[in-house]
Amino acid sequence: MATAAIRAEGLAKRFGKTRALDGVDLVVEPGTILGLLGPNGAGKTTIVRILTTLLRPDAGTARVDGFDVVRQGHEVRRRIGLAGQQAAVDEYLTGRANLVMMARLYHMPAASARARADALLEQLGLAAAGDRLVRTYSGGMRRRLDLAASLVAAPPIIFLDEPTTGLDPRSRLDLWAMIEGLARAGTTVLLTTQYLDEADRLAGRIAVIDHGRVVASGTPDDLKRGVGGERIDVRAPDADTLPAVRRAVAAALGTEPTLDPETGRLTAQVADGVAGLRAVVRELDRAGLAVNDLALRRPTLDEVFLALTEREVAS
Amino acid sequence: MGWLLADSWTVAKRHLLHIRSMPEKLSGVTIQPIVFVFMFAYIFGSAIAVPGGDYRQFLLPGVFVQSMATASASIMAGIVSDMASGVMDRFRSLPMARAAVLIGHTGANLVESGLGIVAMAVCGLIVGWRPELGLAPTLAAFGLLLLFGFAMSWVGVFAGLFLKSSEGAQGLGFVLIMPLTFVANTFVPTGGMPAILRAIANWNPTSAVVTACRQLFGGAVPAAPAWPQVHPVLASLLWCAALVAAFLPLSVWRFRRAMTAR
Ligand SMILES: Nc1ncnc2c1ncn2[C@@H]1O[C@H](COP(=O)(O)OP(=O)(O)O)[C@@H](O)[C@H]1O
Ligand SMILES: [Mg+2]
């Protein structure tokens, strides 16, 4: 069996009464991206902190590149890069000084440290801002600098804790492209996210975390199949036509839609989205019904969780 | 551990670069003591009698020492903000010598204290303070001040490692520094204090360093019967050694192990 880049077994951690992790198992193969997907408070950061040697698990073991995170912390730290949930860069240094400091702390000679800083500033599109204080950077620039800081030593394994939370859509896309570039170059990436679309786009495998446990894992397609494909949303123009619209959707799809009483929105699961949408349109036309909204979409994270946790309760 | 010195120097450089981007960082060891010098020299000074001596000569050592003590509050705030911003986590995820994060910081603090001493000395010369015993004792006094600043910075580091917010750091800094520097012979002779306060003041490390500086700079040194006041230089050295011997290892231990509990 080849060494997994990351292997965790039975990780548990409590903070006082809070059970932050309750037996987490993970395996990440070298050169792949694992997405840890979960809502706020699920335990994602705690997992990252344990794997990066910042936190000691109460129980369980974890190995990173074959080294035990508790007993061989120093060896682990030589092989990882971490970009934490906050951009941990020094506001009162320039972008370049931040990176040079990091490189020096990785014990690069001064000249190579400067060269590495320049190369990374270039690579992450910060060359023009390199000599400005980080205090003047935008949120997206800080995130990129933070990512650069985690890449200084070109580590084979990097941990990104919610790398795009709080970013505007443009910066988000930029960062996604950079993360994909890293993986293509052979870096193993463990990233956490609250967004299904992010995990979907970046990760080869996803582990869904809830209440400190892995409630599902697999490829993005596995998960989506598991939660019943796409969703069709329909909104009736008023309360009077709602029953008729509801009947039409049910007839078209052969399944009863759920109603969100606050917005008056009907939602139905469909295995094949486009075919389902056609059927609904046809049925509404035939019944002569007009609707305010008709949309096909991916399940939201809430729905994925709901589906997964319901299944868990059922089993 | 061969990297301890190199890593400490890298970290120290980080904090020294901060002086350029936020010069206000130095205000604790420059502006604040200078205000104290003028305030006490011209406002309160006329009302405070120093047996057999000149008040400004008496005052300056007190202000020097007080500003060394406040350096511990500024380093405490720095530690707290590094922990809150995730910078400490980043350092701790590196294959560097972990103690260097703290040693570099206190080292840079020492340089800041040195700059503060220069500023205060200039200000003191303006209001009429004079080191009277020649170069060697004067340099010895400055050395003692730096040592005291270094020792106090380790107290600040240790306290900072337990705090969660910078508001907490400010509050604790105040609570720590005020009694330490005021229940002492810093600004007034201890002779007139109530018995309990006088005993505390005479044994306060601050008082030992202040009296040592008064002796080394020359000028009136009000007599006080307590042992540290009779042997102030030795007492200062012992106090500083004890503070470093206690708080340096405690801080490193706390830093190594502890954020694991957070
Ligand atoms: N240092 C801590 N002290 C107390 N509780 C904590 C601490 N860190 C995390 N927790 C708790 O552990 C749980 C998991 O937190 P975390 O791993 O940060 O979740 P996530 O990153 O998925 O949002 C949460 O309930 C959180 O409140
Ligand atoms: Mg988190």
Helix ranges, chain B (H): 4-21, 31-39, 55-84, 87-92, 99-127, 135-160, 166-182, 195-203, 205-217, 227-230, 232-258
Question: In terms of C-beta distances under 8 Å and separation of at least 24 residues, what long-range contacts does B131-134 make, across chains too?
Answer: B131/B216, B131/B217, B131/B218, B132/B217, B132/B218, B132/B219, B133/B216, B133/B217, B133/B218
Q: For residue B90, what pLDDT is reported?
A: 93
How far is CA B74 from each of CA A51, A114, B77, B175, B250, rounded to the nearest angstrom? Answer: 33, 30, 5, 14, 19
Minimal-distance CA residue of chain A relative to B255: A54
Give this prediction's pTM.
Answer: 0.85
What percent of chain B clears pLDDT 90, i.e. is strictly above it? 55
pLDDT digits (tens, 9 = 90+) for B102-115: 999 999 999 999 99
Q: For residue B50, what pLDDT is reported?
A: 76
Task: Flag whether B170 is in a domain.
Answer: yes
Using the Cα atoms of residue A204, residue A205, residue A210 and residue A215 in order, give the sign of their dihedral. Answer: positive
Q: For residue B262, what pLDDT is reported?
A: 42
Minimal-distance CA residue of chain B relative to A155: B94
Average pLDDT over residues B236-240: 97
Between the CA of B260 and the centroid of ligand 1 the distance, in Å, is 13
Q: Residue ranges per domain, chain A?
A: 6-224, 230-297
| Number of domains within chain B | 1
Question: How is residue B32 written in tokens?
Answer: 């604040």
Q: For residue B99, what pLDDT is reported?
A: 93
Pairing relationship of beta strands A59-64 and A67-68 according to DSSP bridges: antiparallel
Q: For residue A313, what pLDDT is reported?
A: 54
Task: Flag whether B78 is in a domain.
Answer: yes
How does the average pLDDT of chain B come out, rounded?
A: 89
> In chain B, which residues touch A (CB < 8 A)?
3, 6-7, 10-11, 13-14, 17-18, 21-22, 85-87, 89-96, 259-260, 262
When CB atoms are compared, the residue of A77, A89, A92 closest to B93 is A77
Question: Which CATH number is A6-224 given?
Answer: 3.40.50.300
Q: For residue A301, what pLDDT is reported?
A: 65
Task: Flag whether B75 is in a domain.
Answer: yes
pLDDT digits (tens, 9 = 90+) for B23-44: 888 888 888 888 888 888 888 7
Task: Flag whether B130 is in a domain.
Answer: yes
Beta-carbon separation of B3 and A106 below 8 A: no
What topology does CATH give the domain A230-297? Answer: Alpha-Beta Plaits (3.30.70)
Beta-carbon separation of A74 and B95 below 8 A: yes
Q: Whose CA is nearest to atom 16 of ligand 1?
A: A43
Task: Flag whether B219 is in a domain.
Answer: yes
Q: What are phi and psi of A289, to 5 degrees?
A: -105, 135
Backbone φ/ψ region at A262: left (φ over 0), alpha (ψ -120 to 50), beta = alpha
For each of chain A's 315 residues, which pLDDT tens digit applies?
A: 568 999 999 999 999 999 999 999 999 999 999 999 998 999 999 999 999 999 999 999 999 999 999 999 999 999 999 998 888 999 999 999 999 999 999 999 999 999 999 999 999 899 999 999 999 999 889 999 999 999 999 999 999 999 998 888 888 898 899 999 999 999 999 999 998 889 989 999 999 999 999 998 998 888 877 776 788 899 888 888 888 888 888 888 888 888 888 888 898 888 788 888 898 899 888 988 888 888 888 777 667 777 776 655 555
From A45, A85, A159, A213, mutation site for ligand 1 pocket: most ligand atoms within 8 A of C-beta: A45
Residue B79 has pLDDT above 90, yes or no: yes
pLDDT digits (tens, 9 = 90+) for B151-179: 999 999 999 999 888 778 878 888 888 88
Q: For residue B1, what pLDDT is reported?
A: 61
Residues of A with Cβ-Cβ distance to B3 under 8 angstroms: 107
Task: Flag whether B86 is in a domain.
Answer: yes
Task: Flag whether B33 is in a domain.
Answer: yes
Q: For residue A241, what pLDDT is reported?
A: 85
Between the CA of A31 and the centroid of ligand 1 the distance, in Å, is 28
Task: Flag whether B17 is in a domain.
Answer: no
Q: For residues B40 and B46, what is the distance between their CA atoms, to the nearest angstrom?
A: 8
Residues of B with Cβ-Cβ distance to A80 under 8 angstroms: 93
**Ligand 1 in reach of A13 Cβ (< 6 A):** no
pLDDT digits (tens, 9 = 90+) for B4-17: 999 999 999 999 99
**Ligand 1 in reach of A86 Cβ (< 6 A):** no
What percent of chain B clears pLDDT 70, i.e. is strictly above it? 97
When CB atoms are compared, the residue of A55, A86, A149 closest to B85 is A86
Atom of ligand 1 nearest to the CA of A42: 22
Between the CA of A157 and the centroid of ligand 2 the distance, in Å, is 19
Chains A–B, number of C-beta pairs less than 8 Å apart: 72
Question: How is residue B117 written in tokens?
Answer: 């001493």
Q: For residue B261, what pLDDT is reported?
A: 43
**Ligand 1 in reach of A41 Cβ (< 6 A):** yes
**Structural domain boundaries, residue B182:** 27-42+54-261
Q: Whose CA is nearest to atom 11 of ligand 1?
A: A20
